[in-house]
Amino acid sequence: MADTNIKHGGNLREAARRYDIALEDWLDLSTGINPLGYPVPPVPPDAWRRLPEEDDGLAACAAQYYGASFALPVAGSQAAIRAIPSLLKPGVAGVAPLTYGEYAPALARAGHRIVALDIAKNDLPETLDYVIVANPNNPTAARLSRETLLRWHAQLTQRGGTLIVDEAFADVDPSASLADQTTRDGLIVLRSVGKFFGLAGIRAGFVLAAPELLNALASALGAWTVSGPARHAVMAAFADHEWQNETRERLHEDGARLAAIIARYGFDVHSTPLFSWIPTPRAASLQHALAQHGIWTRLFDTNEPSLRIGLPGAQGEWARFERAWADACA
């Protein structure tokens, strides 16, 4: 059973029940997923009928797309977040106070002690054995340079530790990615097709690391971790370079557009091309006001209150959000 105390975006049915607005009347901006995702070509009948075959080329296709030497397909990077901590001997793990909510519970279940990680520091505390960090961070949009991450990796490996970097939102701007460095021991990079490609529903992701770690993880996860239809969709998406280039350009423009709309009312906006995040004491009231217009966003009410807002898709959705945001801010 999933942890019921971990909140995520995309809980649209909960919003529909709470506000008594029909599910089909909502605009969901709570996830940071590309709303105009990859148009998957028709799925061959055999992808539905046959068991997935591990030697179908998906791993090699992913390694080439990410610029890595080795890749392991998994059922979304979430599956890896749950499984990897058990492959590491118990130690002290650093996790940022405001980041993806699954990291700390997964590490704690495997016997690791969790301490708060200050991502603004150049050097890690000597007490840390492991660090897991999202780059860019979800939801704060904070970015870490390659130089900082590689310095952290060197510090951790000197004490036999491991750096795990979740690059779920890195596809739009992969300049800081460590994918090309993942032959190094003690370095694990997680990638997802759910955000940039907008294919969150197929539950497919990849772990980039040295072969020894990937073999151990594959053994822990077992066979057929990614379905046949999902494998077909991902390989088509990875091969479509024209769509990727056009989408990167559009997402950069749309991310800037969203941030500008929000900032117009005096908010301090932190953004990626896929979402904007605003720390504000008004976060709960803004979410409530938008929800009354049938627009769902992601509230963070621990630490400092804040709101994450994803991209609208069609032009009508942009106009709808802009009107609702003006009303909410008023």
Per residue in 19-42, pLDDT tens?
A: 999 999 999 999 999 999 999 999
* Residue 190 lies inside a defined structural domain of this protein: yes
* Residues 6+ positions from 78 with CB-CB distance below 8 Å: 102, 203, 205
Instruction: Give residue 11's pLDDT.
Output: 86
Please report, as a single letter, which amino acid is at residue 9: G
- Say if residue 130 is in the same domain as residue 166: yes
pLDDT classification of 153: cutoffs 50, 70, 90: very high
Instruction: Single out the residue in 182, 211, 239 at which a domain terminates.
Output: 239
List the end-to-end C-alpha distance of the chain, in Å, as a whole number.
Answer: 42
Mean pLDDT of 79-83: 96
pLDDT given at position 65: 98
Claim to verify: residue 194 and residue 252 sit in the same structural domain:
no
One domain, residues 112 and 255:
no
CATH number at 313 reads 3.90.1150.10
pTM of the predicted protein model: 0.95
Distance CA 176, CA 51 (A): 36
Domain final position from 177, 210, 239: 239
In a domain, 3, yes or no: no
222: its two tokens:
């077992």
Structure tokens at 128: 């840390």
> Which residues form the domain of 230?
45-239
What is the structure's pLDDT at 305? 95
- At residue 2, the pLDDT reads 45
CATH code of the domain containing 134: 3.40.640.10
224 with 138, same domain: the answer is: yes
Residues 247 and 234 in one domain: no
The token pair that represents 312 in the structure block: 């609208």
Of 239, 272, 290, which residue constitutes the final position of a domain? Answer: 239
Per-residue pLDDT band for 9 (boundaries 50, 70, 90) equals low
Residue 6 in domain: no
For residue 29, the Cα-to-chain-centroid distance in whole angstroms is 15
**Both 309 and 324 in a single domain?**
yes
Whether 276 is in a domain gets the answer: yes
- Asked whether residue 202 carries a pLDDT value surpassing 60, the answer given is yes
Residue 266 confidence (pLDDT) above 90:
yes
51 band by pLDDT with thresholds 50, 70 and 90: very high
Q: How many CB atoms lie within 10 A of CB 168?
A: 23
- The answer on 252 and 147 residing in a single domain is no
> What pLDDT sits at residue 1?
37
- Cα gap 141→149, rounded to integer Å: 16
Q: Output the pLDDT for position 5.
A: 57
Task: Report the percent of the chain where pLDDT is more than 90.
Answer: 94
Closest CA to 57 of 237, 200, 232, 243: 232
Mean pLDDT of the 40-62 span? 95
pLDDT at 107: 97
Number of domains in the chain: 2
Tokens standing for residue 287: 């979410």
